[in-house]
Amino acid sequence: MKFVVNSVKSGGCRLGVMSDFGLHGKKIVETPMCMLYTRRGSAPHLTADMLKKIQWLPPMAQMSVTNMIEHHEAIEAYKQGIGKFANMKDYIVYTALHDPATEVMSGQNDTATVGVWSKSGKVRLDVEMFVKVQEAFKPDMYQALSDGDTDLKAGKKRTNKSVTRTLTYLDDILERLPKSQVLKDAAIFGVIEGGNSEFERCRSARETASRDVAGFVIEGFHNQGPQTELFKISDIRDIFKTTLECLPEEKPRLMHGAFPPDQVLEALELGLDVFDSSYPYHVTERGGALVFDFVHIADPEDMDGNKAVQKGWEIDLNDKKYFEDFGPLIEDCSCYTCKNFSRAYINHLRNTSELLGSVLLMIHNFQHYFNYFEAIRRALAEDKYEQLKTHITKQKKYIRLLTLTFILSQTVYVAVQTESGLRQWP
């Protein structure tokens, strides 16, 4: 894989291009980019035919080792890689270690292995097994084995351990790679750990950068899952910046997790290039439709007259107020859902727990979020990023009280979002 940063724009946002992928040599990926989030190789709720209805689909799909590890022998026997196995052969495949939409259980890793949970129980993944699984999956890009089991509260010992282990795994993998015919064209991403310790972060970044990796995954700030939506990039701005300064400019940086629209921009300004789309997935799971506006960026003067900014990020299709609302999710949205179905119908589908509700919301939410990334790239290229950012920030300010209901391991949490951002739920 090749990566070129074409320009660094206002605030530090990078415009780049990835190319020369292993199995998909001719594909070109413009960054900032948001990969297609998948579960067991398929876009959530969407068959390949339905997925095709979405516009602005990214050329790259993110799959995860955890999702599919119990099937690696079948995929190995299939011989053509996980992308084709899952009927996603047109996609550049990036394999992450964990599913970004599922919280990773803490305390599962040791010096030699990382514990991953599959349907049939815990699997101890050592480097040998890891390489074997990747050889079966045949990704274009993959995240190296890592111990990312830290968060902002992790102690010194734990962060030190996670950095050391992750480097050891990486060295072990790199040592095995020359023997692997299959993985010779696959791009390996080194993983930067270190929790909230600036010292460990810089050690991790410098050491990883000195090895032969194609890009970097920034991990160890949180344990993934739906609650990453509440994670505030601003809380880690300084340490993040320092970390990225230790990395070479010409390699892509990727971070897993759910990024609401304003967080995407904050992360971009710190120099992140690649994201996943677990955010629109979470929104879909709770019955929400993304409605934040990035299309009608008005002149700065009459921004207040712009009604579009008063809705917040999403609307809740479980809400009775849509019972008789025969309009689309967004009036001028060009997505398949909005062109064909009404809020009232989707409200009915949510009310009756019908699967089609998730299908229709997933289509709209994916398209909206991918289109947002397209808008960001365009705004950067046309030097209109500041206007876009003001427009997004404006909408954030209108979210005075937004109730998000997450179903997290059978428990209902309620988060209250205020002007200052999301607060921890009671």
Partner 1 sequence: THALSLRILAECKTTKARTCKLHLPHYVVDTPVFMPVGTQGTLKGLVPEQLEELDCKIMLGNTYHLGNRPGHELLKKAGGLHNFMKWNRCLLTDSGGFQMVSLLKLAEITEEGVKFQSPHDDSEMMLTPEMSIQIQNAIGADIIMQLDDVVHSCVTGPRVEEAMYRTIRWLDRCLKAHQRPHDQNIFPIVQGGLYPELRKKCVQELIKREVPGYAIGGLSGGESKDDFWRMVTLSTEYLPKDKPRYLMGVGFAVDLVVCVALGCDMFDCVFPTRTARFGNALVPTGNLSLKNKKYAKDFSPIDDQCPCSTCKQYTRAYLHTIVTNETVSCQLLSVHNVAYQLTLMTGIQQSIVEDRFPQLIQDFFDKQFPDTDYPQWAVDALASVNVNIKKS
Q: What angle do CA 157, 160, 166 make, to 5 degrees?
A: 135
Residue 291 near residue 325, CB atoms below 8 Å: no
Beta-ladder partners of 411: 408
d(CA 34, CA 31): 8
202 lies in the binding site for partner 1 (CB under 8 A)? no
Choice from 73, 128, 235, 386 touching partner 1 (CB under 8 A): 73
Tokens of 36: 């297609």
Binding flag, residue 120, partner 1 (CB under 8 A): no
How many contiguous H segments (helices) and E segments (strands) does the chain have? 14, 18
Residue 117 Cβ vs partner 1, minimum distance, rounded to whole Å: 13
Task: Quote the least distance from Cβ 82 to partner 1, whole Å.
Answer: 10
Rounded CA gap, 142 and 254, in Å? 11
CA distance 122 to 124: 7
* CB 287, min distance to partner 1, A: 14
| Residue 364 assigned as binding residue | yes
B/e letters for 58-74, b = 16+ CB within 10 Å, e = fewer, are bbbbbbbbbbbbebbee
Q: Is 320 in the site for partner 1 (CB under 8 A)?
A: no
Q: Which of 150, 224, 358, 417 binds partner 1 (CB under 8 A)?
A: 358
- Cβ(217)–Cβ(254) under 8 Å? yes
Asked if 387 touches partner 1 (CB under 8 A), the answer is: no
182 sits near partner 1 (criterion: CB under 8 A):
no
Q: CB 120 → partner 1: shortest distance, Å?
A: 11
Binding mask 278-317 for partner 1 (x = CB under 8 A): ----------------------------------------
- Residue 296 labeled ligand binder: no
Out of partner 1, Zn ion, none, which partner does residue 201 contact, by CB within 5 to 8 A per kind?
none
Nearer to Zn ion among residue 3 and residue 279 (C-beta): 279
The verdict on 101 binding Zn ion (CB under 5 A) reads no
Of the pair 8, 356, the CB lying nearest partner 1 is at 356
The reply to whether 345 sits near partner 1 by the rule CB under 8 A is: yes
User: Is 13 known as a binding-site position?
Assistant: no
Radius of gyration over every alpha carbon of the chain, rounded to an integer in angstroms: 21
- 32, 60, 65, 71: which one contacts partner 1 (CB under 8 A)? 71
CA distance 163 to 258: 23
For tokens 């940063």, the residue is 5
Q: Which does 364 bind (CB under 5 to 8 A by kind): Zn ion, partner 1, none?
A: Zn ion
- Strand 29-31 to strand 14-19: parallel, antiparallel, or no bridges (unpaired)? antiparallel
Residue 335 binding result from Zn ion, partner 1, none, given CB thresholds of 5 to 8 Å by partner type = Zn ion
Tell me if 333 contacts Zn ion by CB under 5 A.
yes
Task: Please choose, out of 193-201, 212-220, 249-257, 340-348, the segment that lies near partner 1 by the rule CB under 8 A.
Answer: 340-348
In Å, how far are 39, 235, 261, 403 from 267, measured between CA atoms?
24, 11, 10, 24
Q: How far is the CB of 317 from Zn ion (least distance, A)?
A: 12
Q: Which of 45, 158, 165, 364 binds Zn ion (CB under 5 A)?
A: 364
Give whichever of 179 and 320 is closer to partner 1, judged by the CB atom.
320
Q: Does 379 bind Zn ion (CB under 5 A)?
A: no
The upper half-sphere exposure of residue 61, i.e. CA atoms within 13 Å in the direction of its Cβ, equals 23
Which secondary-structure segment (H or E) carries 380?
helix 355-381
| Separation CA 16–CA 24 (nearest Å) | 18
> Pick from 21, 85, 169, 372: which binds partner 1 (CB under 8 A)?
85
- The answer to whether residues 76 and 135 touch, using CB atoms and an 8 Å cutoff, is yes
**Residue 338 CB, nearest approach to Zn ion (Å):** 3
Question: Cβ distance 52 to 88 under 8 Å?
Answer: no
Q: Annotated binding residue at 333? A: yes
Report the C-alpha gap between 342 and 352 in whole angstroms: 16
Q: Which amino acid type is present at position 330?
A: I
| Residue closer to Zn ion (CB basis): 333 or 399 | 333
* Contact string (CB under 5 A) for Zn ion, positions 336-355, x = contact: -xx-----------------
What does the block give as tokens for 308?
């579009």
Q: Are residues 61 and 94 in contact, defined by beta-carbon separation less than 8 angstroms?
A: yes
Q: At what angle do helices 127-137 and 156-176 cross, to 10 degrees?
A: 60
Q: Which residues are at the interface with Zn ion (CB under 5 A)?
A: 329, 333, 335, 337-338, 364
Q: Which residues are at the interface with partner 1 (CB under 8 A)?
A: 39-50, 68, 71, 73-74, 77-78, 85-87, 119, 323-324, 326, 340-342, 344-345, 348-349, 351-352, 354-356, 358-360
